[in-house]
Structure 1
Amino acid sequence: MIVQLPLPEHLNVEKVIDLIPSEIDVDGLTTFNLGRLYSENLNIIPATSLAILELLSHYEIETEDKNIVIAGRSRLVTSPLSKILSSKKYNGNVSVIHSKTSNPKEFISNADIFISAVGKSKIFDKSYFKEGSYVIDVGISVVDGKSYGDIDTSDLDNYLIGRAPYPGGIGPVTVSGLYSNLAKLIS
């Protein structure tokens, strides 16, 4: 079972998600399943986080002892991904920044891997990134009926080692993550 986010503002996201029995939570977002991540039980990983991990694995991007910065406060990406990437399996040096971080550029400019899950159109540009870093954009915002990611991609192609753009970057792999979780829950 899955709940399509975002929900209408009058609904409490956590309460609605927690109505899903954890044994059929294919997105891995119930409080129970998120709590399992703290015991390093990585059987059911939230689908977007799983997609990011798959991307890192596919392109053989090392996380051990790398500075990884995640922007945002989402239950969907930031919370589980920060825990997973700092776990013994991945050993990343993870920092989480958000709207109240006084010096986001300082954090991001030192990141080997930057993951943005803010949901504000093009708020990070080339001036934020360290040359030779990796940038993964999972933020989604709609401005004047058009969808945008968090990253302004102008002049980034020859500056970064790699980037996962929006649209078309993590989204399709997230769907694969849902099916992977479904297969695990069925077996």
Structure 2
Amino acid sequence: MSDRPYHHGDLRRAILAAALDVIATDGPTGLSLRDLARRAGVSHAAPAHHFRDRTGLLTAIAAEGHGLLATALAEATDLRDAGVRYVRFAREHPAHFQVMFAPELLRADDLELTTARALSAAALTDAIATSAPTGGGTNGADGSDARLARIAAWSLAHGFATLLLGHNLDRLLGDDDPEEVLRALPMVLFPSA
């Protein structure tokens, strides 16, 4: 331990920020509370006061990510805009994105996480509802059309974001703006719609 006196204005935020840096470069498997404590200049036990363990830290990152995603989606003007905002979120917060959808790394019953997940799911559902065609829908009593629309919208945006972050689309996109390509995909897939 260094000779520096212990004083940290917001250790929780500092540990989260350091963890996001590690995840962005090494992935979630490269994360160690001991290493994060060293980076923050605190004792190796200090992060456990805020996160208990590595799973607690990853759960906090996922909860924060879902909250940020919910905020981004809530500002969407329509379903295409929601998809673009989803992909933009993934590009701007790649470490959050990696952790948010890795349930094996998280405490599924964590209240902060379940609340944040519900908010991001509701924001996506709202974007779908505001974009649903009126008059001719065949929405069953069980809400099956809405459920299928949510699955389709999420699959398209999430798949595109995942491929983009993994650099799997680099050659196909070339110099095209990924957001504009995503906006055009529904018209390519469903030209008569």
For normalisation by structure 1, the TM-score amounts to 0.32
Structure with the bigger percentage of helix: 2
The structure with the largest strand share of the pair is 1
Higher Rg:
2
Q: TM-score, structure 2 length as denominator?
A: 0.31
